Structure 1
């Protein structure tokens, strides 16, 4: 994988648990990945695979209790005075001054549900402007308002001069999502974590938002971690793709390589479940079985019970390691081990 020279975020063997009355949920089971500077990392997988928990770990916002990082590191490599400052997010108090200076300015997140992310008693404009005033206290309130209006215009909100004083309940779901994107981008962060950012948008506005993210990425050199169930969108925006399942990275490669040569049986099953417009119309091929209980502890491969290529006596006995099956193409599967 990449050296840290061109890496913005490095996650190493991260394990996260949620200790509930019903039992312990092993949300992440040893996730390791890197987000390069100025590049887009796509993260795909079924619900419950650990995509959003990974994003929360990077932001330092895992709800505690019941959530807890029990192992691993999340490191940020931030330029500072011509050199590099390494910040270990897992060692910072979640409400401390240092992590609060990083959130919004260095790393920001576009949440999946904007209605619960905005305060209902403050205007949209005030909530977007707050990020500017916190991280850039030298900026006047007038200038912060002008920047907010311009960013609202860039994300496609009509009449931003009037809408800046509106409350969240006065926005539709799609408009709130665009306002959430404006708030995430207002300080031009080095990393934007986009957790299903276009869920509430129609396909036309979705295309505009994706184009905006890519334009801002080129303009400011920011990195993007794009979490989605839509493989088509991920294939169009990501430089590299990570496939997750039950808290583990199952496969990672450059986007073209992963789409052309999926190696893991889970990745192959995801591809078969996608409808296409090419060739004859056929029934979709869903992944057989159901996602195992989040409270279950898996000694071997967590995909064993649903895998069509499983090796009895091997796959359920021990957990497969990550193997570089092809150049820069990593897969967690015994099918490719020696």
Structure 2
């Protein structure tokens, strides 16, 4: 004989058997999750907003590589807001309706894809800069970089609007009870999403950065053997090469952290039979936390970011002509 369900265990008590059940946790655990998610959300939004303001405002930072960092910061900034939706459904219940659920899911897929696409562009940028330095400044221009970023975001949006078309056309069609927010993908659609959002981009990133590090190590050895006998002209070339390799190493850290944060989640999704299990695990939190870590990496390795933040927080950017300040 089935025991009657306590109304406190339901997302919508007035709907009785049609309502989903809440996820029950000890109050201390719920409070810990709430504080953790809220802190990550606020920190992600604030830190990435500082990156966006820095690169957008200061003219000296308007370089192809920094525009890619700007694109990544925008996607990470939006991820900070998406975390708030996770806080709303912390008890396993969705209260914002079917249309908002469909919009949230599309935004989640779209922003994630744009972030991963930007990582691929960063890898391509460093590959050309380190492996083909003589062609870099003539081929990789600010305008071409902006165009690539625009295409990346547009293609990510179009792809996931088409992929989730049924979920958008019929919001709530695939839910099994009231209070559930789910996305449905058939086997073929799921494979396409996994390939274009994870397998393909990760393969490109690993292959390109493997080549970058091989060339960087080779160039470092070559420069060490020549550093004692450089001319003035050679010294300039030496500094240029050193600068490009330093940038490659810093962005390499960003890429490695990205892989460490996202691979566990996608691997679990690949192996799991139930998507809900993977989405509620620690790997899901780690996946979002990557958006918080990126600006912290810039603080550690980029002097220009520390200078920019100081100018922003002291409101120096409000002064006329502050955009021409040399923060490099």
- Over alpha carbons, which structure has the higher Rg? 2
Common fold, TM-score beyond 0.5? no
TM-score range, shorter chain: under 0.3
Which structure: greater helix fraction? Answer: 2
Greater relative CO (CA pairs within 8 A, separation 6+) = 2
Which structure: greater strand fraction? Answer: 1
TM-score w.r.t. the length of structure 2 is 0.23
TM-score w.r.t. the length of structure 1 is 0.23
